[in-house]
Amino acid sequence: MTHLSERYARQARFHGIGADGQAELMTKRVLVVGLGALGAAVSDQLVRAGVGLVIVDRDYVEVTNLQRQTLYTEQDATAETPKAIAALERLRAINGDVEIDAHIADVSWDWLRPLPHVDLVLDATDNVETRLLLNDFALERGIPFLFASCVGAYGMNYTVLPGEAPCLRCLMRHLPLAGQTCATAGVVAPIVHHVASRQAVEALKYLTGRHEKLERRLLIEDLWENQSQRLDVERLVDAACPSCQQNEYPSLVSNRQQTALLCGRDVVQVRRSIEGLEPIANQLERADITMKKTPFTLEWRWRGHRMLLFKDGRVLVHGVNDPHVAVAMVDECLGA
């Protein structure tokens, strides 16, 4: 047996995949947006299965992540390593035979538009706007979008199949997507891995051509209360939906939002146009501002608040929740 056939031998022996299915998996590329708890878990499973990935996240590893985000270590948290970089290193250590492209970025239509072909889009995000963006992107490309969400011990899974079922925008008025968050209600790791496993197995079904096995219902589960539901949502197609019925894709617009609140963290993200970190480092140095440099970020303190600048021009202003205050602080440091 070859090295690769040994690696995937048990998976290829599974009747639902087989040798032909395994060969198919090794030609596929999946976009995973968000590398928190869900993104880390599902990326781990897919890389072990031999699937190529495009992974993207805008944030860095913190100690509060380690309870449930299984790709990261205490060293990553201490170094405040961008999640995309830490995940890439760990996933390559798990399986060096698959192609993995990692990006430190805040996903927008401008970022997605030039993206080369992917076969599937996996949602591992924490906000409605990005989910609707991914919903529209997948529909526009004619590929499935695997929505997932978890908080506390409660999780949801749903597969958006272009032309076959209601999309996420259709279901928005029926799903509690804007309620509690991990920051307010907490989360236990088992629900993360449960939901991620459902995402992963649906991905394997689709990527191996076993579309008849796909779960077309909305799954809602509460592991703590031992409750589960499978809801037939076919009748919830909105005939006026601009995304799946009118092909207008309202979320596919150039990003004009200069600020964003990060979920439940008293952190405001401010966008700036910069030409790399070094000119900013020189500017801060001239202003006698002490900073910490990494290959990916600059960190300093201003008016008692921690500021973290990424290469793409995003500044995370910690300890504030007012975008106007955050913008003013960034202007003071970097100029308007």
CA angle 149, 154, 157 (to 5 degrees): 40
Our answer to whether residue 241 is catalytic in this structure is no
CA torsion 61→63→66→71, rounded to 10°?
A: 30
Residue 215, pLDDT > 90, answer yes
Q: What is the pLDDT of residue 122?
A: 98
Last residue of a domain, one of 201, 236, 271: 236
Instruction: With respect to residue 247, please indicate whether it lies within any of the assigned structural domains.
Output: no
Whether residues 129 and 209 share a domain: the answer is: yes
Q: Read off the CATH number of the domain in which 286 is found.
A: 3.30.310.10
Q: What sign does the CA torsion over 6, 9, 10, 11 have? A: positive
Q: What is the pLDDT of residue 264?
A: 64
Q: What is the pLDDT of residue 266?
A: 86
Question: What three-state secondary structure class fits 296?
Answer: coil
Per DSSP, 39 falls in state H
Which stretch of 28-37, 123-132, 178-187, 262-271 has the lowest confidence by average pLDDT? 178-187
Catalytic residue from among 182, 241, 244, 333: 182
Tally of domains within the chain:
2
129-to-44, 169, 227 alpha-carbon distances in Å = 25, 11, 28
Residues 1, 269: Cα–Cα separation, whole Å:
51
Q: What is the pLDDT of residue 259?
A: 80
Residues 281, 213: Cα–Cα separation, whole Å:
54
Mean pLDDT of 144-162: 94
Last residue of a domain, one of 221, 236, 251: 236
Average pLDDT, the chain: 91
Q: What is the pLDDT of residue 255?
A: 66
Whether residues 269 and 224 share a domain: the answer is: no
Residues 260, 258: Cα–Cα separation, whole Å:
7
Whether residues 151 and 229 share a domain: the answer is: yes
> Do residues 135 and 145 make contact, with C-beta atoms less than 8 angstroms apart?
yes
Whether residues 62 and 183 share a domain: the answer is: yes
Domain limits at 285? 259-334
Instruction: Pull the structure tokens for residue 316.
Output: 């995370």
> Per-residue confidence at 272, pLDDT binned at 50, 70, 90?
confident
Instruction: With respect to residue 248, please indicate whether it lies within any of the assigned structural domains.
Output: no
Q: What is the pLDDT of residues 296-324, one digit of tens each?
A: 999 999 999 999 999 989 999 999 989 89
Q: Read off the CATH number of the domain in which 77 is found.
A: 3.40.50.720
Q: What is the pLDDT of residues 29-69, one digit of tens each?
A: 999 999 999 999 999 999 999 999 999 999 999 999 999 99
Question: b/e per residue, 177-204, with b = 16+ CB within 10 A?
Answer: eeeeebeeeebbeebbbbbbebbbbbbb
Residues 313, 105: Cα–Cα separation, whole Å:
10
Mean pLDDT of 222-236: 93
Residues 289, 213: Cα–Cα separation, whole Å:
58
Q: What is the pLDDT of residues 163-182, one digit of tens each?
A: 998 999 999 877 765 555 56
Q: What is the pLDDT of residue 258?
A: 81
Counted residue by residue, the chain has a size of: 336
Q: What is the pLDDT of residue 1?
A: 37
225-to-33, 183, 221, 330 alpha-carbon distances in Å = 29, 21, 9, 45
Whether residues 118 and 75 share a domain: the answer is: yes
311 dihedral zone (left: phi>0; alpha: psi -120 to 50; beta)? alpha
Amino acid identity, position 247: N
Instruction: With respect to residue 249, please indicate whether it lies within any of the assigned structural domains.
Output: no
Residue 243, pLDDT > 70, answer yes
Whether residues 211 and 294 share a domain: the answer is: no
Whether residues 175 and 97 share a domain: the answer is: yes
Residues 124, 101: Cα–Cα separation, whole Å:
16
Whether residues 34 and 168 share a domain: the answer is: yes
Whether residues 37 and 147 share a domain: the answer is: yes
Whether residues 8 and 98 share a domain: the answer is: yes
Residues 48, 32: Cα–Cα separation, whole Å:
15
> Per-residue confidence at 261, pLDDT binned at 50, 70, 90?
confident
